[in-house]
Structure 1
Amino acid sequence: MTDLTASLVARLRTPRVAVSAFFLLNGGLFGIWASRVPAFVARHELSPSILGLLLLCMGIGAILSFPVAGRASDSIGAVPVSRWLGAMYVAALLALPLMPNVWTLGLVLLVFGAGHGGLDVSMNAFAAEVERRARRPMMSSFHALWSVGAGLGAASGYGAVEMGLGPGSHFWIAGLALAVLCLSMSFVPWEAEAVRSQKGTPLFVFPTGPLFAVGLIALAGSVGEGAMADWSAVYLVESAGAGEGVAALGYATYSVVMVTLRLFGDRITAMLGAVRAARLSGIAALCGALLTVSSSSVAPILAGFALLGVGYAVVVPLVYSRAANDPEVSPGRGLAAVATLGYGAMLMGPPLLGAIAGLTSLRVALGLLAVLALLMIGLAGRLSPTR
């Protein structure tokens, strides 16, 4: 039995499993936190504006961490950097329920965001190395596991509430269990790829040339993802008169389609190539956006959300894979630069859509997704590493 167990553990401790564990950890910890935000609102009596500022602290922490994590991944190696950032991310999650006031909560959310964002860069750098050595697309399945982790983390929040557990008990039980499972699987033999010297180069390099176009694709996809997370339910209520329960189906429909397609995304990319897959994704997003904003009943709007899920599913994995394989920029720096554009769009996109909706209507605001889909279609050719 001991030999069988050792053999099973050895089979599980492969580079692909290690990358998958990092993605599962990142999504899971985020889902755990997101599921209990209402408890923090109630405990600290947070107004919407104060909550927005706290979430901004998390976003700022992530953005600040991108170039640092990218440089460290290039210099030290993506695997050890991912382990350290994963440990920091877990520690910040465990500290959140212990904070006595809004000020300390904001500081810990800054660290929590840095762990989340930094790990996002380093684990994608590791994923790109594994993908290159395997010589076949793998990035989409890794990103699918992030979504699975986020869903499991959110589900743990529902279970904790049903059992009457506060955020403290919930975070320590679920967070530590996830950390032990995932980080233990990260200890695999892996020799980092050599990266050319970075002496004299700035910490952060804004993407230029083809990589700037790749960043714009990330921006377009990220605005769409943020819009679905924050506005899909509201749109169903306002435009189709849906009740709260039906409105919740909007993001659920989008998420299920996205995760399912990401699980098959590597095969799609291998069959079609990155450029064609991205262009078809943009066409699906365009059709989904047009169907959504032209409809006033639940069924076609949900169909539009499903098409948007198809449109955004493989785009972000393709963008990260391209950024990590840029011929002019090192993997860590390329990922950091593109992640900054993408995450910045995820952070600022929904408030921008809200401002447009306030001046016009939410239907008009979501029409911007069609314009961004056209951008994805037009720039898809830049996902070829030789361009």
Structure 2
Amino acid sequence: MQAVKARRAVATIFFLLGTLIGIWASRIPDIKAVLGLDEAGFGLVLLAMALGAFFAFPIVGRQIDRIGAARMARWLAVLTLLLFVSLAAGTTVRIMVPLAFVAGFMIGALDIAMNAWGAEVEQALRKPVMSSYHGLYSLGAGVGAAAGAGAIRLGLSVPQHFVIWGLLMALMLAFALRVPWTSERQAPEKRKGPLLALPKGALFFVGIMALIAALGEGAVTDWAAVYQIEELGFGSSQSAIGFALFSVAMVIMRLSGDRLIARYGPVPVARLSGLAAAVGALFLVLGSHIWLIWVGCVVMGLGNAVIFPLAMSRAAADPVMSKGTALAAVATLGYGAFLFGPPVLGFIGTAVSLRAAFGLVAALAIFIFLLAGALKVERPDGT
């Protein structure tokens, strides 16, 4: 019974973080306009957020091993929500950049902690649930994006929008804070090692796969709307629909992912996903009609959906590295790309075009197909 309640608590935190990402994505064109920045300039804001997450990964990995994932996830969820609301105060670059750095730190730390807690619950339930967690994250992103489109139509300012949503999410988060759970802790002698640990062996290639999938997700989250508005000439409300469709596709695939992985195995599912991610990105590159762009968003969402959950489950089950360290190490490559990738794509968008940036995303997705075999867990004895 406790594991069932804990599963709901973890799911609540995944959903909450997804809504915050969706809200942020839906208001990027407005925030960019308020700051008076072009793609490269706003890329610096995203870079500050990425640096915050990068610094968070090794620190939170150590803390998970020391004090437990559940405690870390609860308090980080509260702090992340507060930082999200504070982003509305970033009306100048001087204010927004440090806010983005701290928000990125909290987002990155929460991502590791909630995945670690989710892995513990998954092991207690003795059945795969990690993909469904990430499905609820994607559902939250879709809800946030849809709410963002609604807020734009209602004429709500960014501060009004963020404060209202923050209050709603605080009510929901109160449930997760009350669920009891005792997390695993690593003995001090097992927590030794470099502060910034990179994935080792096959886990390195798992991290590369997560990097590519997260880059694709970040590209749609941060630049798809801008790409459709500024390079393809579509309206802001139409452009917001593309990200919503992308999120819905990810929800469907992730909620189905546990069953598909159990039936066919992680390697075949990952290979097919890589091909779909590449095809979907190509639709965005080649498409000039809004319906073709929307189809590309759907296919790209289906392709990227299960790669990151598979990478997190593989990291949590690694036979060599501790859970917190392994998750942080994979996230350094994988989730870091979700934050570091969009600034790079923004620079490419300024130097060449955002169409070229999405072309790069399509080419990289092929490597998911090539590296999928690394998802198989091999024990130290070779079994």
The answer to whether the superposition gives a TM-score over 0.5 is yes
Deviating runs (4+, > 6 A) in structure 1? 10-13, 234-239, 357-361
C-alpha separation in 1, matches of 2:259 and 2:191: 39
CA contact (8 A) 1:25 1:179 kept: no
Unaligned runs of 5+ residues in structure 2 are none
Larger relative contact order (Cα-Cα within 8 Å, sequence gap ≥ 6): 2
Aligned to 1:93: 84
- Percent same amino acid at aligned positions? 46
Residue identity opposite 2:199 in structure 1: P
Aligned to 1:251: 243
Q: Note the C-alpha offset of 1:11.
A: 9.1
Aligned pairs for 1:1-387 (under 5 A) are 14-38=5-29, 40-41=31-32, 45-46=36-37, 49-98=40-89, 101-162=92-153, 165-197=156-188, 198-232=190-224, 243-244=234-235, 249-289=241-281, 302-353=294-345, 365-386=357-378
Residue identity opposite 2:339 in structure 1: L
Q: Note the C-alpha offset of 1:286.
A: 3.8
* Cα displacement string for residues 52-101 of structure 1 (whole angstroms, at most 9, x for unaligned residues): 32222222111111111111111111111111111211222333344675
- Using the TM superposition, name which of 116-125 and 168-177 deviates more: 168-177
Q: Note the C-alpha offset of 1:250.
A: 3.9
CA pair 110-305 structure 1, distance change in 2 beyond 3 A: closer
SS across alignment from 2:311: helix
* Cα displacement string for residues 318-341 of structure 1 (whole angstroms, at most 9, x for unaligned residues): 111111111111111111111111
* Cα displacement string for residues 122-148 of structure 1 (whole angstroms, at most 9, x for unaligned residues): 000011111122222111111111122
- Using the TM superposition, name which of 188-197 and 359-368 deviates more: 359-368
C-alpha separation in 1, matches of 2:147 and 2:284: 32
* Cα displacement string for residues 194-215 of structure 1 (whole angstroms, at most 9, x for unaligned residues): 4343443222201121111111
* Cα displacement string for residues 186-229 of structure 1 (whole angstroms, at most 9, x for unaligned residues): 42222212434344322220112111111110111122223333
- Using the TM superposition, name which of 23-32 and 129-138 deviates more: 23-32
- Using the TM superposition, name which of 364-373 and 340-349 deviates more: 364-373
Count of residue pairs the alignment pairs up: 377
SS across alignment from 1:14: helix
Residue identity opposite 1:324 in structure 2: A
Q: Note the C-alpha offset of 1:234.
A: 6.6
SS across alignment from 2:178: coil
CA pair 253-208 structure 1, distance change in 2 beyond 3 A: same
- Using the TM superposition, name which of 129-138 and 15-24 deviates more: 129-138
Q: Note the C-alpha offset of 1:12.
A: 11
CA contact (8 A) 1:13 1:186 kept: no
CA pair 11-162 structure 1, distance change in 2 beyond 3 A: farther
Residue identity opposite 2:273 in structure 1: S
Q: Note the C-alpha offset of 1:297.
A: 5.6
CA contact (8 A) 2:142 2:243 kept: no
Q: Note the C-alpha offset of 1:118.
A: 0.6
CA contact (8 A) 1:13 1:187 kept: no
Residue identity opposite 2:325 in structure 1: R
Q: TM-score, normalised by structure 2?
A: 0.85
Residue identity opposite 2:269 in structure 1: A
CA contact (8 A) 1:28 1:149 kept: yes
Q: Whose radius of gyration is greater, 1 or 2?
A: 1
Q: TM-score, normalised by structure 1?
A: 0.84
CA pair 174-216 structure 1, distance change in 2 beyond 3 A: same
CA contact (8 A) 2:242 2:294 kept: yes
CA contact (8 A) 2:43 2:342 kept: no
